[in-house]
Structure 1
Amino acid sequence: MTNKFFILIIICSMLACNATKNIQQQSLKNIDKQGHRGCRGLMPENTISAMFKAIDAGVNTLEMDVVFTKDAVAIVSHEPFFNHEITTLPNGQFVDEAKEKNYNIFKMTFAETQRYDVGLKPHPRFAQQQKLATTKPALASLIDSVEAYTEQKKLPSVYYNIETKTTPATDNIFHPAPAVFVSQLMKVIINKHIETRVIIQSFDRRTLQYLHQHYPTIKTALLIEAFDKNSFRKQIKDLGFTPTIYSPEQALVNENLIAACHKAGIKIIPWTINDKATIQQFIKLGVDGIITDYPNIFNEIKN
């Protein structure tokens, strides 16, 4: 009896381990795998090449940022100016950090922005990033390129998680005010027929509020930084509606926050997680997605 009981315990333990493994694999399969700025760790950020690399890594969603030019072209860029970390000037020199905000994209035409390279300068924080000559693309061109790429490779269509780069202090200085910004952005989205595959995210509640009022079917994500000490409940109350996604900085994520989001019917997708162990930990805790500079890590977890 003792031997049979011991064997039974071993069998039960093995079944439990397999069940746990299957649950973890299913969780990874179901989470929204998002490539931050395409895949900033491997390719120049917010470029078409970065988006292709992220797609090849198996992302569900391409995360990116949008600003506007003087002639109202939506351009994919994290800053509304040419950042010193990534920019080479038309004369071949690098941008001085103290002067970077002088290169204000909102004061340039789209044609003028294409004179600045954002892929050749070695990135000080991303040593693996491949260098290539490239410029900041128009959002419309990026969407066309991505749609053609997935169709050519017979891959599932991807989602677009687009951040509106606005703050009250810089309205009409570095970007349009929220109403104009959102309206111009939505013209591109509607023209490209991707409304059902778009998430608009922002730290600036004003753009999300305007979007919710005028385009209520579009998915929204509230971005939260670690220094925001307001409670989850107050943040949602201040927003004034229930967003599709709550997207906090990774330092804020814990079981209680995840539970609060899910209780409110909100998905939680933290940013920006760049190590395998933390990604695995967050998946186990029950997040709905992961935003990372290194989407290739997802393939390592599968193996």
Structure 2
Amino acid sequence: MFSPTIQKMKKIALFTLFSAIALTTTAQTFEIEGHRGARGLMPENTIPAFKKALDLGVSTLELDVCITKDKQVVVSHEPYMNALYVSKPDGTPVTKEEEKSLNLFQMTADEIRKYDSGKRGNTQFPQQQKQETFKPLLKDMIAACEAYIKEKGLKSVHYNIEIKSEEKEYGISQPNTVEEFSDLVYQEIIRQLPANRVILQSFDFNVLKHWKKQMDAGKYKKIVLSALIVSKSPANTFKDLGFLPDVYSSYFKNLTKEQVDACHEKSVKVIPWTVNEIEEMKQIKALGADGLITDYPDRAKGI
């Protein structure tokens, strides 16, 4: 028999061990997603930005995709050339007046590549490094990131791919149907990545409904589906979708503890966007969220 003192010491040691394991597990499972790569530090949605995010140890690369005139999947947040940071082939800045006329859906992949996305920087992100770069095709972005992971001996990551779709833009800045848009993206993804490393997100619930239908029919492999919303409650999100998404992704300022609990009761993860200040990151983690999306993956180390 152990003396009471030794038994007490053993209990303390075990408690310390289990506490350490719990903390480690929490740290490992809290997902940090690099928004548009690492927009706060490098030109958004470009290969340099994604490599920077990988260097900073993100668990997921978050990105946006649009479709070109020649039906290529291009990595871009807007379906046009944003005047904030894009320069024309002759080096002059794209103006606000002309940006919407530079519609990616009416431009070939080769034409898009001639526009620079980084040498001017972005005044909204003063820390962003200025660098000549361009909007890559999804297939090239994935290939570059996978090669970089292998070269650097990094852990594999997930890809959170947002289909930039709006009903009013069907047939204007994107394909006529979400079915065509989705098929083009799915085919590109599945050629290069295992389905269990892919998240598909969208604000357009028609897109998510199509993916769910295709997966249920066995036409698409099972991929995590994330519902992007601004302020819609979990209950209304689930009702409007007609099914439970894998992830509820709301604007972080509108997220509440009650919403987190409501999602977790139904085994739906909560990963809000876009959280950039360390104190706000801590607050989101304290709510019980499963992760967050940020322009500054370097700051996430502070939590």
TM-score (norm 1): 0.90
- What amino acid is aligned across from residue 229 of structure 2 in structure 1? I
Superposed CA deviations along residues 234-285 of structure 1, whole A, max 9, x for unmatched, are: 2211101111100000111111010000001100000000011111122122
The residue that corresponds to 2:52 in the other structure is 53
Alpha-carbon distance in 2 for matches of 1:192, 1:223: 25
Corresponding residue SS for 1:200: strand
2:133 corresponds to: 134
2:275 aligned residue? 273
Of the structure 1 ranges 62-71 and 90-99, higher mean CA displacement relative to structure 2 is found in 90-99
SS in 2 for 1:190: helix
1:190-229 matches, cutoff 5 A: 190-216=190-216, 217-226=222-231, 228=232
Unaligned runs of 5+ in 2: 1-11, 217-221
Relative to structure 1, the CA distance from residue 128 to residue 18 in structure 2 (aligned partners, 3 Å threshold; closer, same or farther) is farther
Q: State how far apart, in whole Å, the 1-side matches of 2:143 and 2:18 are.
A: 42
Shift of 1:299: 2.3
How far apart in 1 are the matches of 2:236 and 2:271?
Answer: 19
Per the alignment, residue 172 of structure 1 pairs with 171
1:218 Cα shift? Answer: 1.2
More divergent stretch after superposition (282-291 vs 204-213): 282-291
Q: Distance in 2 between matches of 1:292 and 1:26?
A: 21
2:98 counterpart SS class? helix
Q: Shift of residue 98 of structure 1?
A: 2.1
- Separation of aligned partners in 2, 1:163 and 1:275: 23
How far off is 1:120 after superposition?
A: 0.8
- Tell me which amino acid in the other structure corresponds to 1:58: G
Asked if structure 2 preserves the Cα contact closer than 8 Å seen for 1:24 and 1:284, the reply is: no
CA distance in 2, matches of 1:262, 1:289: 13
Matches within 5 A, 1:1-303: 26-176=25-175, 177-216=177-216, 217-226=222-231, 228=232, 231-301=233-303
- Residue 196 of structure 1, CA deviation: 1.5
Indicate the percent of aligned positions where both proteins have the same amino acid. 40
After superposition, what is the alpha-carbon deviation per residue over 1:116-163, rounded to whole angstroms, capped at 9, x for unaligned? 000011312100000110010000000001111111111111100000
**Conserved 8 A contact 1:246-1:267:** yes
Cα distance in structure 1, aligned partners of 2:16 and 2:205: 44
Structure 2 residue aligned with 1:6: none
Q: Tell me how far 1:25 sits from its aligned partner.
A: 5.5
Task: Give how far 1:27 is off.
Answer: 2.4
Give the secondary structure class of the aligned counterpart of 1:97: coil
Deviation, 1:297, is: 1.2
The alpha-carbon distance between structure 1 residues 89 and 252, as it changes in their structure 2 partners (threshold 3 A), is same
Residues 147-156 or 205-214, more deviating: 147-156
Structure 2 residue identity aligned to 1:222: A
- Structure 1 spans left out of the alignment, 5+ residues: 1-11
Change (3 A) 1:285 1:23: farther
- How far 1:26 sits from its partner (Å)? 4.1
Q: Indicate if the aligned counterparts of 1:164 and 1:200 stay in contact, CA closer than 8 A.
A: yes
SS for the counterpart of 2:97 is helix
In angstroms, what is the RMSD of aligned CA positions? 2.0
Report how many aligned residue pairs link the two structures.
286
Provide the C-alpha distance between the structure 2 equivalents of 1:174 and 1:188, rounded to a whole number of angstroms: 19
> Any conservation in 2 of the 1:225–1:249 contact (CA below 8 Å)?
yes
Alignment partners' CA distance in 2, 1:283 and 1:175: 36
Separation of aligned partners in 1, 2:300 and 2:22 = 16
Counterpart residue type for residue 157 of structure 2: V
Which runs of structure 1 show a deviation greater than 6 angstroms over 4 or more consecutive aligned residues?
Answer: 15-22
